[in-house]
């Protein structure tokens, strides 16, 4: 795995040079992916890396795990508590949405308990986090290092303009299992390697429960094609990939009429 580490860190240095920046900002979630990205950026930048912990309706254990990673690698880290900001923004948004015509939205959709409101409510959090990351990155002349891996990026399992927004994606070419192997080579704490994957959108949320299938099945499809999984799962995956294509592309524009 050392060759992979060298290749990625060399690439990160090239991105710094090309962008005339001097380091990286990483959002530390307490999970495997962010721990790996933090260490790679630390190695690539000669310790010019800043970790941000951004609690926002998340499990307190995630912050503890994030601090464990930062301490383990002697990386500077700061915490930005976004709970009050999130609550204030939601209160204002609810008030504004209620002013819309009744035929556009019902009051029931604004409730925290409404299934239709769960995703919009949860997606505010990663977008607030990315706003915070870019503020610090702009201030320090750093790049924002995203933590998405190939498994999640292919499936569109990220928030558009939230955790999906970044300047570089150091592990975007690696499957989840490959990230885990890299974590071992980088000496990431074992408790973080063994942790159940979660986007931290709400307490108790897990990636596999939300996706509806296991990472192993997704990886079997990505490496072996539709024949490597059941026909029903292959169909679900293909529909999901097609339906999330907009997340992986620049916004479309109308074709020019040539005039």
Same domain, 174 and 86: yes
Compute the distance between CA of residue 114 and CA of residue 130 in angstroms, rounded to an integer: 26
Same domain, 156 and 235: no
Compute the distance between CA of residue 225 and CA of residue 161 in angstroms, rounded to an integer: 29
CB 19 within 8 A of CB 143: yes
Same domain, 189 and 222: no
- How many domains is the chain built from? 2
Domain boundary among 154, 171, 196: 196
Domain that holds residue 225: 213-250
The predicted model scores a pTM of 0.91
- Burial-class residue 48 by CB neighbours within 10 Å (0-12, 13-18, 19+): middle
DSSP H helical ranges for the chain = 2-19, 32-44, 60-72, 83-97, 115-140, 150-155, 176-185, 190-193, 207-211, 215-224, 231-243
Same domain, 103 and 221: no
CATH code (residue 101): 3.40.50.620
Task: Classify residue 207: in a domain, yes or no.
Answer: no
Same domain, 139 and 95: yes
For the chain, 259 residues long, give each residue's pLDDT as a single digit of tens.
889 999 999 999 999 999 999 999 999 999 999 999 999 999 999 999 999 999 998 889 999 999 999 999 999 999 999 999 999 999 998 888 888 887 777 654 555 555 567 778 889 999 999 999 999 999 999 999 999 999 999 999 999 999 999 999 999 999 999 999 999 999 999 999 998 877 666 566 677 777 778 889 999 999 999 999 999 999 999 999 999 999 999 898 898 766 5
List Cα–Cα distances, 114 to 109, 118, 119, 181, 229, in angstroms. Answer: 6, 7, 10, 39, 33
Helices 176-185 and 215-224: angle between axes, nearest 10 degrees: 110
């Amino acid at each position: 795995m050392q060759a992979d580490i060298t290749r990625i860190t060399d690439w990160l240095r090239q991105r710094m040079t090309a962008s005339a920046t001097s380091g990286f900002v990483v959002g530390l979630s307490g999970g495997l992916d962010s721990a790996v990205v933090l260490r790679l950026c630390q190695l690539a930048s000669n310790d010019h890396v800043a970790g941000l912990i951004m609690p926002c309706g998340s499990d307190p254990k995630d912050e503890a795990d994030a601090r464990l990673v930062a301490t383990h690698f002697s990386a500077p880290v700061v915490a930005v508590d976004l709970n009050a900001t999130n609550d204030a923004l939601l209160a204002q948004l609810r008030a504004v949405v209620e002013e819309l015509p009744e035929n556009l939205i019902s009051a029931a959709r604004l409730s925290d308990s409404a299934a239709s409101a769960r995703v919009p409510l949860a997606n505010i959090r990663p977008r607030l986090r990315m706003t915070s990351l870019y503020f610090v990155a702009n201030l320090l002349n750093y790049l924002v290092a995203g933590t998405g891996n190939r498994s999640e990026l292919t499936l569109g399992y990220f928030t558009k303009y939230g955790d999906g927004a970044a300047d570089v994606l150091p592990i975007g070419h690696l499957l989840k299992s490959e990230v885990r192997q890299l974590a071992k080579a980088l000496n990431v704490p074992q408790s973080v390697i063994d942790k159940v994957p979660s986007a931290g959108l709400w307490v108790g949320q897990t990636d596999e429960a939300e996706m509806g299938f296991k990472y192993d099945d997704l990886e079997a499809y990505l490496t072996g094609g539709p024949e490597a999984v059941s026909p029903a799962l292959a169909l679900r995956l293909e529909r999901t990939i097609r339906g999330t294509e907009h997340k992986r592309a620049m916004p479309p524009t109308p074709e020019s009429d040539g005039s």
